[in-house]
Structure 1
Amino acid sequence: MGWLIPRLLAATLAVILGGLVGMAVGNAWSWPAIGALLGAAAAALAHAFVDAWRGHRFMNWLRGQMEGSAPRDTGFWGEVGYRVERSVRALERNVATESARLDQFLSAIEASPNGVLLLDASDQIEWCNSVAADHFGLDPQRDRRQRITNLVRAPAFVAYLQGDSFGETVTFAGPGARGTISVAVRPYGEGKKLVLSQDITERERNDAMRRDFVANVSHEIRTPLTVLTGFIETLGNLPLTEVERRRVLELMSQQTQRMQTLVGDLLTLAQLEGSPRPASDRWVPVQNLLAQVHADAEALSAGRHVFDFSGGEAAQIAGAETELQSAVANLVTNAVRYTPSGGRVGVSWSVRADGAGELEVHDSGIGIAREHLPRLTERFYRVDGSRSRDTGGTGLGLSIVKHVVQRHGGELEIDSEPGRGSRFRLVFPAARVRQMEQALDARRAAIESVRAEAQGAGRL
């Protein structure tokens, strides 16, 4: 009410002053009363006009964008303008703060690895992050306010969304059958829905690989165990000659060795997957590596193959010697097993133009059809299962090779054609390859540096 009394006083004062002025003017015409009345009316009208003009300016400011300051008038309209402007600016600050918080919240959801989709009570899209847009094949801007079931027509998803039971999740093929999407719906607000999506393609692939792995291991171990059980029953129930007994014991020994090899390969794979990457400061001479593998290959071949080992005299690879030897030995062993008698098996070392080291194992064996090449490094994958078992393979050798070369930062390259042999190349990055001359130069430089520091200390 602080504005009311001054406003009434101003109006009263204006009327009194107008009446006095009118009376003074009316005395000159001998009509003082009429002059006072006209003067008071004129003053009241002037005061009302000024007040209306100020109100008009203020209303124009309200009708506009309310940018800038409200009209700075005195009295009633000045007070109203100030208070309204202060309320408007406070509201704008609150809106800006809430908008910033909303932007931060949406940015956090946008950074989520899972898809987030907001639906209104009519299942229309209110907002979605880029992950959800990718999962459902949507455009975050174009498809806003569109009904989700008009855009995503997977029967499982539509039935799940239209039902009232959201306790479980639903899975369906993503757009273009690129993968598998898992979706959970959570109601909120007044009929609204929060749709959470996740790409579980990799998880399902890993689960399938795990199931296949367990099934393959069970199968691989069951076969020799069945053979051993049969031989044990034979030894216990049938009278055998010495020759037959020795033959049975020999076969039992082969099956036992097969199981031991399988368990050994499984342990090797587990160790490779669970241990840190090999250090990059432990250098393994390639020549020593090839010499050991050459000796093992000669023993396995028993003179049935021609071997050609070349290169690597001054080369070194940074890594774990046992792992590298296991990888090369697996490749050479496969080459010997799948190359007929009289065939050739070669191992060569070379350095590529970019400094990467290449260790190649090639043979003149039976070769591999092109459609099998992408799956050769899968565990227990065999091009010819019966032949692999006859040669003593476990189906894990190339998987071990792949793990070893990847742990050393490299890659495995395979080229093969049926009847024309195979080529397996272990390619190591330049950072893990060096020549002995480089090592000697580095050692000499270190010695010279230490010697220079010692001489400098002696002068001091």
Structure 2
Amino acid sequence: MSNAWTIEISRIFVLAVIAILFGLISGYWGLAIFLSSLVYVTWMLVQIRALERWIRLGAKNQFALDTSGIWQLIVQHIVYAQRKNKERKRRLSYMARRFEATIAALPEATVVINSHREIELTNQASEEILGIEKRRDLGQRIDNLIRDPKLQELIESEESPARLEMESPIDQRKTLSVTCVDFGEEQKLITARDISQRIAVHKLRKAFIANASHELRTPLTVITGYLELLESEPDMSDMVRKQIGNASRQASRMQKILDDLLTLSKLEEKGYDRESGVMIDMPGLIQKLVTDFKKTKAKGTHQIEVDIDPTLQIKAVESELYSLCQNLLSNAVKYSPEGSTITVRWQRKEDGYTYFSVTDNGEGVAPEHISRLTERFYRVNVNRSRQIGGTGLGLSIVKHILENYGGFLDIQSELGKGSTFTAYFPKYRTIEYEKLAS
């Protein structure tokens, strides 16, 4: 680079010397300066014209300018930039081919659309699942090919990712799970997979649980009735009475399991509904629940403290809300030592979420168990759970109730220090008394 500038400065120096000599000899200094400048400018214009022509014809390396000085340096920069661009294009082309190969290999239908909803990329699975053919439909608007209002709402959704379940556009017997995420610059990536088999199995499982629960309830009621009659029989040995008492407790526990299974089945069938429920006096419901517990299950064994915001109401189904609070408080009583303190809170967070939490000083839960506590029939300690009459379904019921309300359950626990179970409700479900009155 320095050599090129040295050559160029040398040219200017030589022309300046010639101009000075011509001026000294002839005495025409203006003409000397004009002629030397004209020679340099003319040479520069010739180089510029040659450079423009070379670039216009594609700036191919074999036709590069044979020059020196600053113009040789410019040509070298252009050749180097071209070489870098070719390498970049080659690399981008390779990445594009790999991306297309990856998309083509995906088992899910994958479609990329631009800001005008025109299809830019698709794969073979899209033809089998969505009926979109790569050769025929590239460049077509997706809403012209799939005229389903749900899909239009999905594309227009501001959430990323946005999800929904919809009927297959090519087979009404199939159900698709469709996801839409922002992709690239003003593009969206739409994926769809067939979940018909999963839904069928889920429906079969729910039907089995519901039918089994209904079928078992009647004979179990009869068995429980006979056991109660036998327990009231005066002429019975203590050993037989003890065995009948054990059988009666197990029958009651089985009855509770069936009731919880039916409750779960109804909650799953109901699903999420933003508008469900009516305004409930949550502070009053909690106070009533705590009073009942102090009279029955926690009578003389636990201290229950409350921290309740009396201004907060919630939109929900009262029986479901009571079941949620009862399950959380019941677990705290069952799994914390006698004489310990249980704290119940009903408050609003700064982010707008309203929460109901129960904190105990029990034995706590190990970290590896926390994520599985809401699974059906999952117990950390099976033997103890059976001794205290747990069904293993309480937290699963709580989780489903919250999901139907758009909320979630948070569990914080530490071995030997107790646990806090917090049910969070979204902002749109709670309201303050003052706002309600206004």
- Give the TM-score, by structure 1 length: 0.47
> Which structure has the bigger radius of gyration?
1
